[in-house]
Each structure stands twice: as C-alpha cells, then as structure tokens.
Amino acid sequence: MPSDIKPSDIFECTQCGECCKGYGGTYVTEKDIAAISEYLHTDPARFLKECCQMSGRKPVLAEGENGYCVFWQDKRCGIHPVKPKMCRAWPFIQSVLTDISNWRIMAASCPGIRTDVSDDDIRECVREVRKTLI
C-alpha cells in the first residue's frame, strides 16, 4: 500500500547551522547567481567578487571570518528566499537515490533528518522534492 508520507514529515530544519559551516560546499548556478544578485541589489560580477570563492573553475559561496557561509547571519540564512539550489535541495539530494545509506549518514550531522522511516518512503520524498527544484 502506498504511504502518504510527505517530505516535511521526514525533514524539518532546526536552523542549527551545521550545514552552513566551512568552505567549499555550496556551488552557485547561473540561476542562483542571477537570483541572489537581484535580491542583494547588486550585479552578478560584484556578487561573485565579494561573496564567492572559486573551487576549481566553479564558484562557491565564500566562508566568512566566523567559519560559516558568508550569508549565515544572526543564526539564520540571510538569503533564505533565494538561497542556492544546493541549499534548497538539502537533504533531498541525488546521492540519496544513488545510495540510500547516504540518508542515514547525513542524519548523523543534520538533526532535522528523521531516520525512523522506510527506505522506500525516503526515496519517494527525495523524488518528489527534486521534481520541484529549478
């Protein structure tokens, strides 16, 4: 029988900030760059220069002096409405579909992730969220 579990049933961000810590993880797409620049009332070139660092040939959000993403301010995401696709997707990421054990590995560092759910329900929720991501 199909389950009616929803993504919000298996993940709710506690705003602990753990995933906003450190350098290098958060890539920004062209769409992210356009949306964040507009939100910040700046132009893409300035946003890239002032808020990003390069990881290989791709831009990632820079790390601030406090060791967190430059947009982690007052214990919240300062660009929440336009945060990058990677941040919007978390934890419903492709690698969970590739290997379901990643869900439980990620849960060890993300207190918002529930693990008392079946693998099939997790997969279904990941697919559902990923359909809505742009």
Q: Which is nearer to ligand SF4, 4 or 116 (CB)?
A: 116
In whole angstroms, the minimum distance from the beta carbon of 25 to ligand SF4 comes to 7
User: How many other C-beta atoms can be found within 10 angstroms of the C-beta atom of residue 7?
Assistant: 18
User: How many other C-beta atoms can be found within 10 angstroms of the C-beta atom of residue 84?
Assistant: 22
Q: Which residues pair with 113 in a beta bridge?
A: 11
Q: Collapsing DSSP states into helix, strand and coil, what is residue 32?
A: helix
In whole angstroms, the minimum distance from the beta carbon of 96 to ligand SF4 comes to 14
Q: Check if the beta carbon of residue 26 is closer than 8 Å to that of residue 52.
A: no
Q: Which is nearer to ligand SF4, 17 or 44 (CB)?
A: 17
User: Measured in Å, how far apart are the chain's first and last C-alpha atoms?
Assistant: 31
Distances (CA, A) of 66 to 20, 23, 63, 131: 11, 11, 8, 35
Q: Which is nearer to ligand SF4, 19 or 96 (CB)?
A: 19
Residues that bind ligand SF4 (CB under 6 A): 13-20, 26, 61, 69, 71-72, 77, 79, 83-84, 87, 90, 110-112
Q: Which is nearer to ligand SF4, 4 or 8 (CB)?
A: 8
In whole angstroms, the minimum distance from the beta carbon of 102 to ligand SF4 comes to 14
In whole angstroms, the minimum distance from the beta carbon of 83 to ligand SF4 comes to 4
